Amino acid sequence: MIKLFKVKEKQRELAESANGKPPVKKQSAGELRLHKDISELNLPKTCSISFPNGKDDLMNFEVTIRPDDGYYLAGTFIFSFQISPIYPHEAPKVKCKTKVYHPNIDLEGNVCLNILREDWKPVLNINTIIYGLYHLFTEPNHEDPLNHDAAAVLRDNPKMFESNVRRAMAGGYVGQTFFPRCI
């Protein structure tokens, strides 16, 4: 039995090599959608995106958030994004690379944001996630915490929470945990 797809693929490869150009790598549906999302980004002035592995690796990038309001004013927080080839049918994997005292971000950098978990829908995009992350810094949520200690302090004593955030951002200890400077 002749394998027509293999024959067609071989003919295409021969045609591409004959014109002197290397074969073009096909983009996955996830890469195409991500390219569209990135080209349509409308970030607040306090957020930026970078590609540490170069522009050829769109599936892994970093977002820097510098809140201009709230408890985290003047801090710099870096998030890594890993995008699946089946994006947007699977939410991106987002981690905070900056150690932060925050009720919705644990000390390992895991982020508690509903649109990254149960509320993810393919209609959402990278811009929506970045705005969601930014919102975590302007309105931390003690009702759905990953860092239960920080959430309890925010709920019970907001002045103490603000003091702890300032101490952590300046580079110091909060309880037994050391936080490197992020301002």
Distances (CA, A) of 123 to 30, 101, 120: 13, 31, 8
Reduced to 3 states (helix: H, G, I; strand: E, B; else coil), residue 78 is: strand
CB 67 within 8 A of CB 75: yes
Among 90, 85, 171, smallest CA distance to 129 is for 90
DSSP 83: -
Question: Is 182 annotated as catalytic?
Answer: no
CB 102 within 8 A of CB 161: no
Q: In angstroms, rounded to a whole number, what is the distance separating the alpha carbons of residues 93 and 90?
A: 9
Considering 47, 96, 112, 182, which one is annotated as catalytic?
A: 112
Which residues are marked as active site? 112
